[in-house]
């Protein structure tokens, strides 16, 4: 089949972006060969549209036909990989668009790049506790928890689960403002005392902490963003990214050095 004439790179980007099915079709063909009928069923477009798309892909040498199936060429796989990454990035950006200013800034060493493969959980009017529910699911899956920042007390609906996990054996270090410990102690005094007496909780207090939360789990780290008034949790970003983990570990260690040498205990 004769190859299409070369346009600008933007022309091919626009060609893929103008239709919602083209990018996913090319990406699907990098996973394994697929038939035309399988592709039109998968994408939900008409058979004639898929036929035309595959012809256009062949003209660009992005796919080749093998019997009744099509598969991506090396060129097609190269383009599909970039397209998949771009789609993922834009999906992440859209989730962060209204809340990214609640996350750490570049002066702390944090970059949005660290969110590329992250799970982004944003509160919305229909489900304002989504970030808190995500936090609870993560503490159920970890044996060690380290938290610093303002304000674990804002995770009001999970304070009982947090204390219960500590009592059950989750090794926990919390670095928070004094008002946070007082809040938890006041609202669930029995469970709080039990958590302190379990030997699994190292509670340190410091007033000069950032306006966001940093959490280090066994296999993931999380960043918690609060609204400007510090009243509610707006977003939780959690990831296995190695650079993000190094950043979170550094933040926790830095804040830990600012706290008293001895952990705060029952004397609170």
Domain spanning 9-87, CATH class: mainly alpha
Q: What's the pLDDT tens digit per position in 1-36?
A: 555 556 899 999 999 999 999 999 999 999 999 999
C-alpha 104/C-alpha 250 separation (Å) is 13
Give the model's pLDDT for residue 92: 87
Strand order, beta sheet including 69-72: 34-35, 69-72, 63-66
Confidence tier at 79 by pLDDT (50, 70, 90): very high
pLDDT digits (tens, 9 = 90+) for 166-220: 999 999 998 887 777 777 777 777 877 888 888 898 888 887 888 899 999 999 9
pLDDT, one tens digit per residue, over 109-134 is 999 989 988 999 999 888 988 999 99
Q: What is the rounded distance in angstroms from the CA atom of residue 220 to the CA atom of residue 111?
A: 17
Q: Please determine, for residue 262, whether its predicted confidence score (pLDDT) is greater than 50.
A: no
What stretch of H or E contains 65?
A: strand 63-66
CATH entry 3.40.50.720 includes domain 103-258:
no
Total-model pTM? 0.78
Please state the rounded mean pLDDT for residues 85-95.
89
Q: What is the mean pLDDT of residues 253-265?
A: 68
The label of the residue with tokens 């960043």 reads: 223
- Measure the CA–CA gap between 113 and 139, rounded to whole angstroms: 25
Measuring CA to CA, which residue among 248, 228, 83 is closest to residue 154? 228
Distance between CA atoms of 53 and 21, rounded to whole angstroms? 9
CB atoms within 10 A of CB 34: 20
Predicted confidence (pLDDT) at residue 265 exceeds the cutoff of 60: no
The domains of the chain are located at 9-87, 103-258
Alpha helices in the chain (DSSP H): 9-17, 22-31, 36-43, 47-59, 74-96, 130-139, 159-167, 178-187, 189-197, 242-258
């Amino acid at each position: 089949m004769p190859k299409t004439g070369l346009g600008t790179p933007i022309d091919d980007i626009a060609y893929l972006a103008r239709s919602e099915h083209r990018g996913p079709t090319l990406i699907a063909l990098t996973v394994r060969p697929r038939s035309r009928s399988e592709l039109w069923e998968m994408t939900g477009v008409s058979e004639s549209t898929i036929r035309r798309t595959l012809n256009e892909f062949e003209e660009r040498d992005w796919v080749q036909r093998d019997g009744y199936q099509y598969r991506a060429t090396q060129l097609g796989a190269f383009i599909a990989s970039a397209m998949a990454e771009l789609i993922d990035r834009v999906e992440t950006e859209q989730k962060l668009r209204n809340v990214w200013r609640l996350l750490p800034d570049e002066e702390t060493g944090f970059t949005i790049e660290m969110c590329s493969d992250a799970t982004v959980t944003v509160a919305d009017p229909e489900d304002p506790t989504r970030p808190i529910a995500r936090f609870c699911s993560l503490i159920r899956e970890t044996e060690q928890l380290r938290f610093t920042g303002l304000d674990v007390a804002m995770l009001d609906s999970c304070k009982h689960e947090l204390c219960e996990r500590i009592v059950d054996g989750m090794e926990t270090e919390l670095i928070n403002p004094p008002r946070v410990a007082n809040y938890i102690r006041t609202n669930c005094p029995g469970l709080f005392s039990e958590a302190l007496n379990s030997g699994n909780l190292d509670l340190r207090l410091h007033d000069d902490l950032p306006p966001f939360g940093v959490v280090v789990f066994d296999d993931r780290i999380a960043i918690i963003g609060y609204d400007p008034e510090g009243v509610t949790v707006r977003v939780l970003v959690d990831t296995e990214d190695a650079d993000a983990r190094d950043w979170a570990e550094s933040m926790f260690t830095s804040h830990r050095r600012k706290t008293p040498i001895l952990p705060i205990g029952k004397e609170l």
